[in-house]
Chains A and B, each alone.
Chain A
Amino acid sequence: MTSFTFKTTLFCGLLLLGVAELFAQETQKLRFNGLGRTTLNNTQYGGDLQDSDTTNAARINDGEFLLDLGINATPNEKNEIQSILRLRNEFGGFFGAGFTVEVRELWGKGVIANKIRYRAGDMDISQTPFTLYLADEEGMVNEPTIFQPQKEIIEYENFFTDDNTRRMQGLKLDFALEVSQVIDEIEFEGYITRVRGTDFVSVANRFVGGGTVAFKDRKYGRIGLNYVHTFDDLSVGQVPNGIQNPVYTADWDLHLWENDNLGLHFKGEAGFSSVQLEEDSVIVFEADDNFAEGMVGFDVKQANVKVDLGFRNVGPDFITVAAQSKRVDFTRQQRYFNRIGNERFLRAPTLFDLGRDFQLYTSQISEQLMAYDLRLSNAMPYGRATPNRRGFIANIQYADSAQAVNLNVEAAILSEIAGQGTEELKDFTLIRVASDLNIHKLIDWEKDLVFTLGLQVEQTSRDGVEVEQVDLSSNLIEAGLEVELFDNFDLLLGTKILNSEGSDYVPVYDNFNTVIDFPGRTVVDDTELLTAGGFKYRFKEGIYLTAQYQTFDFSRATTPENDYALSQFFILYTMNF
C-alpha cells in the first residue's frame, strides 16, 4: 500500500469517528445514526489469458468514502420518522468530482389509538418462503468470516437482511387481538407497496399487496393464513401489458407433543397461485398451480438435536414472483473485468464476483424465472419455492450445550414433476452441511479461535436417449479460520472451492415460467479456487478495520486457453453508529 493510500484511509477513518462522536450527542426528540465506510481496493487480473490480453488493464484501483447519515426524530412517543442521507465520494474524486448526495431511506412509523401499528415509506417485508420472501443467494453455505465484510457491503447496499426480507416502499399496518378463551392471540398484518414506477407508455406501476392472519398459542403452536398479490396497474398512462399474480397459502407449526426430553412438531405450508399476463386488454397467458410442504420435527432435547423430515411438492406452474425472484441477477454486467481476452468474451459471475460485486445483486421482483448458474444451484435455484420439484427433505441441527460445536445439515432428494424438453424427469440430490467449531471453548482459551466449514454437494441426473441424458455434479467447499491474536485483533483465513463437472440444459424462460428454448447443452468441467488471508481489528461492536488479500483461479478443462486469475487487496473501514 502506498503512503498516500494509507494516509487517506487513516484520515477518513478519523473523520468518520469524529462525525460519530458528534452525532452521538442525542437529544430526546432528535437522534443520529447511520454508517460510515471507507474502502480502498486494488484488483488484479492475471493468468494465461491475461498474458495475451491486449484489451484489458491488468490492474484496477478504486474505492469510495461513504457516509449514510440517519436522522431519527420522535416528535412524540407514538410517532417516529427517519431519513438516511447518503454522501458518497469515489476514490480519486478530485475536489468534489464523483461526489453524490442522495436519500437512501425515508420512513415514518407509529401507533394509532394504542392499537394499530403503522409504517409508511421504506420498509423490509417478508412473509413465508412461498409468498413474499428473498431466498439466500447461491455460492454460499457457511461463509468464512474473512469473506463477510465484503458480503456485508453487498447486503447493506441491497437492503438484504437475515430475515430474508425484501426492501419495499408503501404502507404497512399490524395489530393483534387477544382471544384467550381459544388461543393466545390473533395477529393481523397487511401492507401495500409499490415496487416499480410507470413510464406511462410501456412500463406499468407494479404493486405488491398482501397480509397475514396468524393464530398463535404458546402451547399449541401457530397457524397462519397468508395472501400476497403482485399486480400491475394499467389504469395509469397507456401501458398495454401487465401481470396479476395472487398467491394464497396457509402455514403452520403445531406442537403435537412435548415433554422435557422430546418435542414433536408438525409444520409446513400449502397453497396455490394463479398468474395472468394481459396485453392490450387480452389475456395472453394464464396458469395456476399449487404446492405443499409438510415436515415432522423431532426435538431431542437432551441430545441437543433437532430433526425435521418432510415432503415437498411444488407444481410446475406454481408462480409466486415475490418469492421466486432471486438475489443474484446473472444477466447483469459485472463491475470488474466484465469482458476479458482479446476475443472479449463475457466473463460469467464466479465465487470471486459473488463475494464482492454488489451490482450483481438485486431485490427487484422479476415476472419470469431469472437466470441461474447450474454449477452453484441446480436443485433449488429459486429457493424452497422453486417450481417443478417434488421429493423428500430433511434438516438436522445440533448444537452442544457449550455452543462449542454447531452443526446444520440439510438434504433434499427431489425430482421434476414435468419434464423439460423431454418426458424424462431430472433427479436432484442436494446435501448442505454447515458447521462452526468454536475451538477456544473446547480448549478453554479466552480469545476466539473458530473454525468454520461449509459443504454443498449437488447431483443432477436424467435418463433417456443420449441427447436427453443429464449428469452434473457440483461440490462447494468453504473453510475458514478466525484467530484472535490480540484483544479484538483477528487473523482471518478462508477458502472456497467449487468443482463442477458434467452437463445439463439451462432453459430460457418467457411468460413467467414458459420454456421457450434450450440454447444448447451446457458442459462444465470447472474449478474455482478462492483463498484469502487478512486481519481485522474490532474497535467495538459494528466498528472495524480490515485488510485482506484474496486470490482467485478459474479453470475450465473444456477451454483451458481461457483460464484466468484474479486477485484483490483491500482495506475496509466500517462504522455503524
Chain B
Amino acid sequence: MKKAYVYSCLVLLLGAWGMFSSCNHDTDEDGPSLVDRFGPFRLEDSLSVSAPTVDFANGETVFFTAAFNKNVNWTVTITGQESGSVKEITGFSRELNPETATWDGTTTELPLFRAEPCTAVLTVEGEDSLQLTTQLEVLSGRVYEGSLITDFEAAGPNIVQRNFEFEFTARVGVTQEIPAGSGESCLLLEGTDREDGGATDNFFVGLFEILAPVTGEQFIPVPSTVPEDVVFNCFIYGNGDPATIAIVDFYADGNGNGTYEEGPDTQFTTGNINVTWTGWQLFSITMSDLGITEQQLQELVGMRLVLISDNNNQTMPRGKVSYGVDFMIFTQNQPLMP
C-alpha cells in the first residue's frame, strides 16, 4: 500500500517536473538592443523624398526615406525657405519610410507653411557629423479643419482700427512688415502708452474691431453650438518685451439687431494675455471658459483685439508695446493642431 502510494507520487512528480521543464518560457529579447545602444552607426541608404512637390491643400502628403544599420533616434527638420516655418519629424527606427516619416503639411514651429521651397535635413542622435539634406517644394499650404474667422490676408471695412488715444504707430493694421503667421500678411498692433499722468495714462493703447461680416456671414460661424466643444485659436506674435498685454473680446448680439454695437452687445473676454515671447505662438481657449451660452455663441457679431501696456513692467520712459495676430479660427473639440 505504502509503496504503491509512494511510487504513484513519484510518477506524478516526474510528470509534473517534465511538464514544467518542457513548458515554453517567454524567450523574447529583454531590454534595449545592445547593437542599437552601443553598436557602430552606418548609413545604408541616404535621405530622399517621395515627391519633389507636394500640394497639401489637395490632401497630398510626402514621405522621406533613409536606412541605417541599427535603430537610432533620428530627426528630419523641414524648413520653409520663405516663411521660416519648421516641421520636425522624429523617430527611433532603422529606417525612414511612409509609416515613420510622412509629412502632412503640419508645422512644429509657427508660422504655417505656405507655397514655398523647403529644405529637409536628417540628423541622427550621437552622429554629429551626419547631416543629409534634400529639397522639396510646397505648392499649397495645408487646409485646417474649423471655421476660419480671418487670416488677415487683406485689409477691409470689417477690420476697424480704434486709435482713441492716438497712441498707435503708423505701422498698425494689416501688414507684411512682420513675418506672417499664415500666408503673406497679418494684423499688427503697436504703440506707446502716454505717461503724462493725464486722463489717457491708463494702460490702454488701442484696439481693432473685427466685425462678423469679415467672414462673409452675419454672425461669425462656429463649428458647434456647444460652447464646451468650441475652441478659439489664433497665432500671436511677440517681440519679447515684458510689457505687452493682449486681450481678445467677443461680442454676442445683445439687442437682436444683428450688427456689432459695443454698448448693447454682450462682451466676453479672454482677460490679459501676457505676450512676453518672441515669434509666433498659438493661443487657444475654449469658449465655455468665457461664460458664453449656446445662443450667444451662435450670435457673435464681432471681436475686439486690444493692446495694453503693462505699466507695472514698463521702464521710464515707457517703451513701445506690440503684438501681431493671425489665423483666427474656431475648431471643434480640440485646439488647433498646426
Nearest Cβ in chain A — how far from B335, in angstroms?
A: 27
Q: How far is the CB of B39 from chain A (nearest CB, A)?
A: 4
Within 8 A of B (CB), among A415-431: 417-423
A221 at the interface (CB under 8 A from B): yes
- The answer to the question of B17 belonging to the interface, with a C-beta cut-off of 8 Å to chain A, is yes
Q: Is the CB of A268 within 8 A of B28?
A: no
- Report Cα–Cα, A250/B37, bound state, in Å: 41
| Docked-complex contact A294 and B17, CB < 8 angstroms | yes
Tell whether A417 pairs with B25 under 8 Å between CB atoms, given A254-B6, A514-B30: yes
Q: Contact between A467 and B5 (Cβ–Cβ < 8 Å)?
A: no
- Using A217-B2, A313-B20 as known contacts, say yes or no to A223 and B9 having CB atoms under 8 A apart: yes
Whether the pair A183, B13 counts as a contact (CB closer than 8 A) is: no
Contact B34 A505 (CB under 8 A): yes
The 0/1 profile, CB within 8 Å of B marked 1, for residues 219-238 of chain A is 11101000000000000000
Instruction: Verify B17–A289 contact, CB threshold 8 A.
Output: no
In chain B, positions 1-28 with a C-beta closer than 8 Å to chain A are 1-3, 5-6, 9-10, 13-14, 16-17, 20-21, 23, 25-28
B34 is contacted by which of A219, A418, A468 (Cβ under 8 Å)?
A468
Chain B 58-91 residues near chain A, CB threshold 8 A: none
Contact B6 A421 (CB under 8 A): no
Q: Contact at A313–B35, with CB atoms within 8 Å?
A: no
Verify if B128 is at the interface (C-beta below 8 Å from A).
no
**Cβ contact of A315, chosen from B5, B10, B25, B34, cutoff 8 A:** B25
Query: Could you tell me if A220 and B6 are in contact, using CB atoms closer than 8 angstroms?
Result: yes
Among the listed A220, A388, A421, which residue makes an inter-chain contact with B2, where contact means beta carbons less than 8 Å apart? A220
Q: Which residues of A contact B23 (CB under 8 A)?
A: 290, 315
- Name the prevailing secondary structure of the A interface residues: strand
Interface positions, chain A 262-314, Cβ under 8 Å from B, are: 266, 268, 270-272, 287, 289-292, 294, 311, 313
Which one of A168-176, A480-488, A516-524 is at the interface? A516-524
On whether the beta carbons of A292 and B21 are closer than 8 Å, the reply is yes
Bound state CA distance, A272 and B17, in angstroms? 11
Chain B residues in 8 Å Cβ range of A191: none
Question: Is A182 at the interface (CB under 8 A from chain B)?
Answer: yes
A520–B5 CA distance with the chains assembled, in angstroms: 55
- Chain B: minimal CB distance from A397 (Å): 23
Cα(A334)–Cα(B200), bound, Å: 71
A418–B26 CB distance below 8 A? yes
Interface status of A28 (Cβ within 8 A of chain B): no
Beta-carbon nearest neighbor of B36 in chain A: A421
A313 touches B13 (CB 8 A): no
Measured between alpha carbons, how far is A333 from B88 in the docked complex, in Å? Answer: 44
Inter-subunit contact A419/B29 (CB<8 Å): yes
**B interface size (C-beta, 8 A):** 29
B10-A418 in contact (CB<8A)? no
- CA–CA, A287 and B25, complex, Å: 11
Q: Is A559 an interface residue (CB 8 A)?
A: no
The minimal Cβ–Cβ distance linking B327 to chain A, given in whole angstroms, is 39
Output the nearest chain A residue to B6 by Cβ-Cβ distance: A220
| B126 contacts the other chain (CB 8 A) | no
Tally of A-B Cβ pairs under 8 angstroms = 119
A residues near B28, Cβ cutoff 8 Å: 418
**B17 lies within 8 A of A420 (CB):** no
**Counting CB contacts under 8 A, is B32 at the interface?**
yes
Query: Does A515 sit at the interface, judged by CB under 8 A?
Result: yes
A422 touches B17 (CB 8 A): no
Q: Is there contact, CB below 8 Å, between B27 and A417?
A: yes
**Residues in B123-148 with C-beta less than 8 Å from chain A:** none
Distance between A384 CB and nearest chain B CB, rounded to angstroms: 15
Contact call A181/B35, Cβ cutoff below 8 A: no
Contact residues in B for A420 (Cβ distance below 8 Å): 29-31
B29: chain A residues at CB < 8 Å are 418-423
For A383, the chain B residues whose CB sits under 8 A away are: none
Whether A515 touches B31, Cβ cut-off 8 Å, given contacts A316-B26, A417-B25, is: yes
A421, B31: Cβ atoms under 8 Å?
yes
Q: A181-B1, A465-B35, A518-B37 are in contact. Are A317 and B6 (CB under 8 A)?
A: no
Which A residues, 449 to 471, have Cβ-Cβ distances below 8 Å to chain B?
465-468
Query: Cβ of A507 < 8 Å from any Cβ of B?
Result: yes
**Which among A223, A421, A505 has the greatest number of chain B C-beta atoms within 10 A?**
A421
Across the interface, which residues of A come within 8 angstroms of B32, CB to CB?
421, 515-518
**A32 on the B face (CB < 8 A):** no
Flag if B6 contacts A467 (CB, 8 Å).
no
Among A220, A254, A316, contact of B30 (Cβ-Cβ < 8 Å)? A316
Tell me if B20 and A291 are in contact (CB < 8 A). yes
Are B1 and A313 in contact (CB-based, < 8 A)? no
Q: Is A91 an interface residue (CB 8 A)?
A: no
**Selected A-B contacts with CB under 8 Å, 28 pairs:** A183-B5, A217-B6, A219-B2, A220-B3, A221-B6, A223-B9, A254-B6, A254-B10, A254-B13, A268-B13, A289-B26, A291-B20, A292-B21, A315-B23, A388-B30, A417-B25, A417-B27, A419-B27, A420-B31, A421-B32, A422-B35, A465-B35, A467-B35, A467-B38, A467-B40, A468-B34, A515-B30, A518-B37
| In the A-B complex, the 8 residue pairs with the closest CB atoms | A515-B31, A421-B34, A292-B20, A315-B25, A220-B6, A467-B39, A270-B20, A292-B21
